[in-house]
Amino acid sequence: MQLNNYIGGSWQSTEGADYTAVINPANGEQLAEVRLSTKEDVDLAVQAAKKAQKKWVLVPAPKRADFLYEIGRVMKERKEHLAQVLTKEMGKVIEEARGEVQEGIDMAFYMAGEGRRLFGETVPSELQDKFAMSVRAPIGVVGLITPWNFPVAIATWKSFPAIVAGNTFIWKPATETPMMAYEMALIFDEVGLPSGVANIVFGSGSEVGTAMIEHPDVRVISFTGSTETGRHVAELGGRHLKKVSLEMGGKNAVIVMEDADIDLAVEGILWSAFGTAGQRCTACSRVIVHKDVKKELEQKLVEAMEGLTIGDGLDESVKVGPIINQQALEKVQSYIRIGTEEGAKLLAGGRLLTEGALAKGHYVEPTLFTDVKWDSRLAQEEIFGPVVSLIEVADLDEAIDVNNSVKYGLSSSIFSRDINKAFRAQRDLDTGIVYVNAGTTGAEIHLPFGGTKGTGNGHRDSGVAALDVFTEWKSIYVDYSGKLQRAQIDTD
C-alpha cells in the first residue's frame, strides 16, 4: 500500500515520487509506504487550498459546521477500524486508541456547535448614533504539523476549528504515522467536504514543514512536537511574520502529599506515566512525594508495576505497548543510564525486552527511580518514555518549588485530601493544566490545552481558545449620525 498526497480533493500521481516504509513498532511489520514530498508538492497543495478558501469563506458557518457533524458521524461508525489502524502504526494499546478516536469524534461535534456561535462582541460607542462590534474573521490558508503519538486527536484539535472558522488547510502528519491521515482523507472525501478545503502532504519536517512555514500564502502554522523543533518553527515563522501556535514538551509531575489517598495516587501515577508507554507530552515523569509517605508509595508503586503486561497493543490484555522506533528506544535507554550514573536508585524496570514475541518490536520495561535529585538531568529533561523519578520533599511549598523548577509547564497534579492545599496548588503550580486527585493526562476537548514556559507560546489547542489561532479579530464601526464624528475628540 502506497500513501500519496491528498490535494484539491484527489490523490496525487505517484510518478517520480520517493517513499519510506511505515513500520508497526510492536513487531517490525511493514504496513505501508508513505510519500516523501517536496517543496513543489507543498506549493500544489497551497494553491488548491487558496483557490478553495475563496468559496469556503462564503459558506455560512452553520453550513460549514454541517460537514463536521457528518465527519463525526462517520468517525463514530468506523471507530473500531480507526482504533485498530492507530494501534498498528503507533503502538498504543487498543483501549487508548479507542479513546483517542473518541476524542476526535468529540471534537467534531464540539466544533460543529461553534458554527452557530463564533461569538464576537457588541459594545456601546462613546459617540451618539454610532454602532460598534467585533467579529471573528477567517485567516485564509493554514498549515498544520502534527506528531506521531496522537495521530488523529491532535489533528482534529487543529483542523476542525480551522474548518468551522472558514479556513482551508495543509496538514503534514508525522512520517511514522501517516495511515490515520489517509483514513481521515477518505472520510473528508466521503462526506463531500469541498475540494481543497483539506489537503494532506506527507513527508519530512525539514522538507515539507519548512516549505509550509516559508510559503507566503500560508498565514498560520499550528505545530505540536518537541520544544527544540518548535523553537525552530517559531524562529522561521517569525522571519516570515506568520502567526505560529506551538504545543511542545513537558516534564510533568504528580505531587503526593502526606494526607493523600495513596492507592488512588498509585493508580493515577501508573496511568499517567506508563500509558502510551510514556510517550505523551502530558506523561508523568516525576513523582514529588512527601517524606512521610515516600516508603509506602514506593512499595505500592513497585507492586503495581509488577502487574503491568507489556506487548502488542492489539492484545486486549496488554497495558503497555512499544516505543515508536529504535531511535526513541535508544533515547530512553540513555536516560536510564544517566539516572544510574547520577546516583539515583533503580527500584523497578530498566531492561530492554527482546525475547519471544517482543523480539521484533521496541520494548522497554516501565522504570522507576527513587532518591532522585530535583536538579538532576533525570528530573529536568524530557525523556518521552516509561521512566519515572521519585523526588522527596518536606512540605507543600517545597513540592511546588520542585514542580516549577523545570523549563516546561504543561501539566501537574496533586493528591491531597486537604482542600486548602488543593487550592494553593491550583494557584501556584506554573502549568497550563492542573489536576487534583487525578493523574497528569486525560484532557477534555472543551477546555484549552497547552502550557507555559518551554511548553508553548501562549496559544492553546481545544476549547473555544482554539478558534483564536485560526481567526483574526475585526472591529466594525457603523456611524449613522450623518456627520463626521471623531473618537476621543467629539465626545463632549
Residues with catalytic function: 247, 281
The C-alpha cell that represents 61 in the structure block = 458557518
DSSP per residue, 82-94: HHHHHHHHH---H
Give the closest residue to 225 by CA, choosing from 100, 106, 382.
382
Neighbouring residues of 213: CB distance < 8 A, sequence distance ≥ 6: 143, 221, 233, 236, 237, 240, 242
| Phi, psi (rounded to 5 degrees) for 7 | -135, 130
Residue 38: alpha-carbon gap to chain centroid: 25
Compute the C-alpha angle 264/275/418, nearest 5°: 25
Exposure string (b/e) for 80-103, b if CB count within 10 Å is 16 or more?
Answer: eebbbbbbbbbbbbbebbbebbbb
Burial class (CB in 10 A: 0-12, 13-18, 19+), 156: buried
Q: Which residues pair with 200 in a beta bridge?
A: 6, 171
User: What is the spatial distance between Cα 112 and Cα 120, in angstroms, rounded to a whole number?
Assistant: 17
Cβ proximity of 413 and 439 under 8 Å: yes
Number of Cβ within 10 Å of residue 320's Cβ equals: 26
Cβ proximity of 411 and 433 under 8 Å: yes
Strand order in the sheet with 6-7: 10-11, 6-7, 198-200, 168-172, 141-145, 218-224, 243-247
Residue 307: alpha-carbon gap to chain centroid: 29
Neighbouring residues of 441: CB distance < 8 A, sequence distance ≥ 6: 252, 271, 272, 275, 280, 282, 283, 284, 411
Cβ proximity of 279 and 385 under 8 Å: yes
Burial class (CB in 10 A: 0-12, 13-18, 19+), 189: middle
User: What is the spatial distance between Cα 352 and Cα 363, in angstroms, rounded to a whole number?
Assistant: 6
